[in-house]
Amino acid sequence: MHILTAIISILAVIGWGDWRNWKKYHDTLLFFALGNLVYNFLTANYFLWRMHSDLISNHTLTEMIYTFIVFPATGILFLGNYPKGAIKQILHTLQWIFIYGIWEYVFTLTGHIEYQYGWTFGWSIFALFLMFSLLRLHVKHPLLTYVLFALVSVGFLWWFDVPVHLPVEERGYYRQ
């Protein structure tokens, strides 16, 4: 299912994305990838949600597919087709939240995603509102977006009581 998601993302960005102007979105696409990498790093031993891999991939490869293929492709589609006018912008953002939400709902039905430690589908929808809002904000105000992203991340870590430890401490290498 994850490989299929990547293939659909590639085909969609070729057909409808502003991929010829990818450099225009490059910084925001890196921000998008960074968000997924930060999540995977900080919750490595305490995933709030976890993608179950397909037959030909493992968890790490699955996350790399999303980080480097699916998210940049959908980022180009979202940003490259961003309309003018407040109502159209709100509808465009809601459309992408709906697309991601439906896709994730199918993943829950097929067992391709698992929620843990109090995370639910409702939290995912809330996170999608934040994610797409931050993506658009990053285009205009990148520094503000990094500050907001840090605050949101700390908020989620606190709310879900995610135990964040330095890797060195966990391995017992740290000596006083």
pLDDT at 159: 96
Q: Could you tell me the pTM of the whole model?
A: 0.86
pLDDT at 168: 55
For residue 131, is pLDDT > 70?
Answer: yes
Say if strands 113-115 and 49-51 run parallel, antiparallel, or are unpaired: antiparallel
pLDDT tens per residue, range 134-172: 999 999 999 999 999 999 999 999 999 999 865 555 555
- Rounded CA separation 109/123 (Å): 17
Mean pLDDT of 81-103: 96
pLDDT at 45: 86
- β-bridge partners, 115: 49
Which of 7-16, 96-105, 133-142 bottoms out in mean pLDDT, i.e. has the lowest? Answer: 7-16
- β-bridge partners, 114: 50
∠ CA 60-43-93, nearest 5°, is: 85
Provide the pLDDT confidence category of residue 38 given band limits of 50, 70 and 90: very high
For residue 175, is pLDDT > 70?
Answer: no
